[in-house]
């Protein structure tokens, strides 16, 4: 599964990379949120792990841009702040999970495993629908 991690904190990026690569995930990172959309346009990612508070572009603004361009990638928000997006925003932007920093790695891995199951199910449904249409 291919994951893009966007966080303006280089230590967070390095730590997540060091944990997720040995767990079998393909990881790309950026600490420049203003460049994340370009990365996203050029490659497919199964999951985006996205920091909520970044400069000059915050996570919600970036996520809205992804969704406005019809990108359906699963999103996990990470944040070190108490402030959380409103529930209606979570539904509207299709956020899979919101995790607080410091991250509980077991919870993150469980969320990623759940997404893998959902992705497999979606692929099976698409495949089944292709056979029915043909």
pLDDT band at 12 (very low <50, low <70, confident <90, very high): very high
pLDDT band at 93 (very low <50, low <70, confident <90, very high): confident
Q: Residue 67: what pLDDT?
A: 86
The SS3 assignment for 134 reads: coil
> Mean of the pLDDT values across residues 100-116?
94
Dihedral, CA of residue 108, residue 110, residue 118 and residue 99, to nearest 10: -30
pLDDT one-digit tens code per residue, 35-84: 888 888 889 899 999 998 898 888 888 988 888 887 788 999 998 877 66
Q: What domains appear along the chain, each with residue ranges and CATH number?
A: 2-133 (3.40.50.2300)
Q: How far apart are the C-alpha atoms of 66 and 64, rounded to whole Å?
A: 5
More confident: 83 or 31: 31
């Amino acid at each position: 599964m291919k994951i893009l991690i966007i966080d303006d904190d280089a230590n967070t990026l390095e730590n997540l990379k060091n944990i997720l690569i040995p767990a079998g995930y393909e990881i790309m990172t950026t600490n420049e949120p203003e460049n994340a959309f370009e990365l996203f346009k050029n490659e497919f990612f199964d999951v985006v792990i996205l920091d909520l508070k970044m400069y000059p572009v915050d996570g919600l603004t970036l996520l809205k841009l992804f969704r406005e361009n019809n990108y359906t990638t699963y999103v996990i928000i990470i944040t070190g702040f108490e402030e959380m997006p409103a529930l209606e925003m979570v539904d509207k932007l299709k956020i899979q999970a919101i995790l607080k920093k410091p991250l509980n790695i077991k919870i993150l891995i469980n969320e990623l495993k759940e997404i893998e199951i959902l992705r497999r199910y979606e692929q099976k449904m698409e495949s089944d629908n292709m056979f029915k249409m043909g």
